[in-house]
Structure 1
Amino acid sequence: MATAYVDYFPLYIQTGIEAGLLDPELATFDLARLAAAIKPERDLDFAFLGLQTLYDRYLLHIDKTRFELPQAFFLRVAMGISLKEENREERALEFYELLSSFRFMSSTPTLFNSGTTRPQLSSCFLTTVDDDLSGIFAGIRNNALLAKYSGGLGNDWTPVRGIGAKIRGTNGESQGVVPFLKIANDTAVAVNQGGKRKGAVCAYLETWHMDIEEFLDLRKNTGDERRRTHDMNTANWVPDLFLQRVEAGGDWTLFSPDEVPDLHDLYGAAFATAYESYERAADRGEIRVFRRVKAVDLWRRMLTVLFETGHPWITFKDACNLRSPQQHDGVVHSSNLCTEITLNTTVDETAVCNLGSVNLVAHLTGTGLTAAGLDGELLRDTVKTAVRMLDNVIDVNFYTTPESERANQRHRPVGLGLMGFADALFALRIPYSSDAAVAFADSSMEQISYHAIEASSDLAAERGRYQTYDGSLWSQGILPIDSLELLRQARNGDLTVDTGKELDWDVLRVKVLRDGMRNSNVLAIAPTATISNICGVSQSIEPIYRNLFVKSNMSGEFTVANPYLVADLKARGLWDAVMVSDLKYHDGILSQIDRVPADLRELYATAFEMDPMWLIKAASRRQKWLDQAQSLNLYMSAPSGKALDELYRSAWRYGLKTTYYLRSQSATHVEKSTLQGTDGRLNAVPVAAAPVAATPTPAPVASPITTSAVPATPPAPAPEVPMDDSLLDAPAVCLIDDPDCEACQ
Structure 2
Amino acid sequence: MPQFVTKPNNRQLAFDETRLSVYSDRLLEGLETLNKERLIRSVISKLRREEVTSEEISNAFTMAALELVSIEEPNWKFAAARSLLTTLYKKAAYYRRYKSYPDEPYGALFPLISDLVKKGIYREELLEYYTKDQIEELAQTIDYRRDLLFDYIGLLTLTERYLTTDFDGHVMELPQERYMVIAMYLMHKEPVEKRMELVKESYWAMSNLYMTAATPTMSNAGKKVAGQLSSCFIDTVDDSLEGIFDSNTDIARLSKMGGGIGVYLGKVRARGSDIRGHKNTSSGVIPWIRQLNNTAVSVDQLGTRKGAIAVYLDVFHKDILAFLDLKLNNGDERMRAHDVFHGVCISDTFMEAVEARGEFNLFCPHEVKKVMGWKDTNGRPLGLEDFYDETLGQGAFRDKYAEAVAHPLLSRITVPAIDIMKRIMKSQLETGTPYMFYRDTVNRANPNSAHGMVYSSNLCTEIMQNQSATVVEHEELVTKDGQTRIVISKIPGDFVVCNLNSIHLARAVPAGVLDRLVPIQVRMLDNVIDINNIEVLQAQYTNSQYRAVGLGTFGLHHLLALEGIRWESDEAVAYNDNLYERINYLLVRSSMELAKEKGYYPKFHGSDWESGAYFNHRGYTDGQHEGKFVTTAEWKELQQEVQQTGVRNAWMFAIAPNGSTSIIAGSTASIDPLYDLLSYEEKTTYKIANPAPDLSDKTIWYYKTAFNIDQHWSINMASARQRHVDQGQSFNFYVRPDIKATDFLDLHIHAWKAGMKSTYYVRSRALTIEECESCSS
Could you tell me the TM-score, scaled by structure 1's length? 0.80
More displaced 10-residue stretch of structure 1: 624-633 or 258-267: 258-267
Q: CA deviation at 1:8?
A: 2.6
SS of 2:710 mapped into structure 1: coil
Q: Does 1:191 align with 2:299?
A: yes
Q: Is the 8 A contact 2:467 2:495 kept in 1?
A: yes
Paired position in structure 2 for 1:629:
728
Counterparts in 2 of 1:647 and 1:734: CA distance versus 1, 3 Å: farther
Paired position in structure 1 for 2:688:
558
Query: Which amino acid in the other structure matches residue 384 of structure 2?
Result: L
- After TM superposition, list the pairs within 5 Å mapping 1:17-96 onto structure 2: 17-28=117-128, 29=130, 30-62=134-166, 63-86=168-191, 87-96=194-203
Q: Is the 8 A contact 2:122 2:222 kept in 1?
A: yes
Paired position in structure 1 for 2:489:
none
Paired position in structure 1 for 2:401:
275
The partner residue of 2:637 within 495, 501, 507 is 507
Paired position in structure 2 for 1:711:
none
More displaced 10-residue stretch of structure 1: 465-474 or 553-562: 553-562
Report Cα offsets for 1:167-204 as digits up to 9, x if no partner: 11766511110011011011111122112333111100
The partner residue of 1:113 within 216, 220, 233 is 220
Q: Distance in 1 between matches of 2:217 and 2:155?
A: 18
- After TM superposition, list the pairs within 5 Å mapping 1:90-169 onto structure 2: 90-117=197-224, 120-168=228-276
Counterparts in 2 of 1:34 and 1:601: CA distance versus 1, 3 Å: closer
Q: CA deviation at 1:309?
A: 2.0
Q: Is the 8 A contact 2:106 2:144 kept in 1?
A: no
Structure 1 unaligned runs (5+)? Answer: 366-373, 486-497, 570-599, 667-732
Counterparts in 2 of 1:187 and 1:480: CA distance versus 1, 3 Å: farther
Query: Which amino acid in the other structure matches residue 111 of structure 2?
Result: L
- After TM superposition, list the pairs within 5 Å mapping 1:247-262 onto structure 2: 247-261=355-369, 262=383
Q: Distance in 2 between matches of 1:111 and 1:553?
A: 23
Q: Distance in 1 between matches of 2:627 and 2:685?
A: 42
User: Aligned-residue CA RMSD in angstroms?
Assistant: 2.1
The partner residue of 2:771 within 729, 739, 744 is 739
Paired position in structure 1 for 2:660:
530
SS of 1:234 mapped into structure 2: strand
Q: Is the 8 A contact 1:162 1:209 kept in 2?
A: yes
SS of 2:202 mapped into structure 1: helix
Q: Distance in 1 between matches of 2:309 and 2:744?
A: 25
Q: Does 1:457 align with 2:592?
A: yes
Q: Distance in 2 between matches of 1:310 and 1:130?
A: 28
Query: Which amino acid in the other structure matches residue 18 of structure 1?
Result: K
Q: Does 1:418 align with 2:517?
A: no
Paired position in structure 1 for 2:313:
205
Paired position in structure 2 for 1:237:
345
SS of 1:259 mapped into structure 2: helix
SS of 1:453 mapped into structure 2: helix
Q: Is the 8 A contact 1:147 1:191 kept in 2?
A: yes
Q: CA deviation at 1:557?
A: 4.8
Paired position in structure 1 for 2:697:
568
Query: Which amino acid in the other structure matches residue 617 of structure 2?
Result: D
Q: Is the 8 A contact 2:260 2:308 kept in 1?
A: yes
Report Cα offsets for 1:258-297 as digits up to 9, x if no partner: 012421211111111111111111xx2x12x421111122
The partner residue of 1:11 within 111, 133, 156 is 111
Paired position in structure 1 for 2:323:
215
Q: CA deviation at 1:226?
A: 2.1
Q: Is the 8 A contact 1:553 1:739 kept in 2?
A: no
Q: Does 1:332 align with 2:431?
A: no
Query: Which amino acid in the other structure matches residue 349 of structure 1?
Result: D
Counterparts in 2 of 1:131 and 1:501: CA distance versus 1, 3 Å: same
Query: Which amino acid in the other structure matches residue 380 of structure 1?
Result: D
Query: Which amino acid in the other structure matches residue 608 of structure 2?
Result: L
Paired position in structure 2 for 1:518:
648
Query: Which amino acid in the other structure matches residue 323 of structure 1?
Result: A
Could you tell me the TM-score, scaled by structure 2's length? 0.77
Q: CA deviation at 1:305?
A: 2.1
Q: Distance in 2 between matches of 1:656 and 1:171?
A: 40
SS of 1:292 mapped into structure 2: strand
SS of 1:258 mapped into structure 2: helix
Q: CA deviation at 1:25?
A: 1.3
SS of 2:413 mapped into structure 1: strand
Paired position in structure 2 for 1:300:
422
Q: Distance in 1 between matches of 2:660 and 2:680?
A: 15
Query: Which amino acid in the other structure matches residue 739 of structure 1?
Result: E
Query: Which amino acid in the other structure matches residue 508 of structure 2?
Result: H
Q: CA deviation at 1:739?
A: 2.5
Q: Distance in 2 between matches of 1:343 and 1:463?
A: 22
Q: Distance in 1 between matches of 2:732 and 2:164?
A: 33
Query: Which amino acid in the other structure matches residue 146 of structure 2?
Result: R
Q: CA deviation at 1:249?
A: 2.8
Q: CA deviation at 1:324?
A: 0.5
Q: Is the 8 A contact 1:152 1:744 kept in 2?
A: no
SS of 1:335 mapped into structure 2: coil
More displaced 10-residue stretch of structure 1: 55-64 or 556-565: 556-565
Q: Is the 8 A contact 1:205 1:236 kept in 2?
A: yes
Q: Is the 8 A contact 1:360 1:419 kept in 2?
A: yes
The partner residue of 1:353 within 498, 523, 548 is 498
The partner residue of 1:384 within 511, 514, 519 is 519
Query: Which amino acid in the other structure matches residue 122 of structure 2?
Result: L
Q: Is the 8 A contact 1:530 1:742 kept in 2?
A: no
Q: CA deviation at 1:601?
A: 6.4
Report Cα offsets for 1:395-414 as digits up to 9, x if no partner: 00111200110100000000
Q: CA deviation at 1:228?
A: 0.8
Q: CA deviation at 1:7?
A: 4.5
Q: Does 1:177 align with 2:285?
A: yes
Paired position in structure 1 for 2:85:
none
Counterparts in 2 of 1:499 and 1:653: CA distance versus 1, 3 Å: farther
Q: Distance in 1 between matches of 2:105 and 2:141?
A: 10
Q: CA deviation at 1:112?
A: 1.2
Paired position in structure 1 for 2:15:
none
Query: Which amino acid in the other structure matches residue 643 of structure 2?
Result: L
Q: Distance in 1 between matches of 2:265 and 2:174?
A: 43
Counterparts in 2 of 1:313 and 1:642: CA distance versus 1, 3 Å: same
Q: Does 1:429 align with 2:429?
A: no
Q: Distance in 1 between matches of 2:683 and 2:653?
A: 27
Q: CA deviation at 1:44?
A: 1.5
Q: Is the 8 A contact 2:227 2:302 kept in 1?
A: no
The partner residue of 1:651 within 751, 754, 760 is 751
Report Cα offsets for 1:581-631 as digits up to 9, x if no partner: xxxxxxxxxxxxxxxxxxx76422111111100110000010000110000
Q: Is the 8 A contact 2:657 2:772 kept in 1?
A: no
Query: Which amino acid in the other structure matches residue 280 of structure 1?
Result: A
Query: Which amino acid in the other structure matches residue 27 of structure 1?
Result: L
Q: CA deviation at 1:113?
A: 1.3
Q: CA deviation at 1:54?
A: 1.0
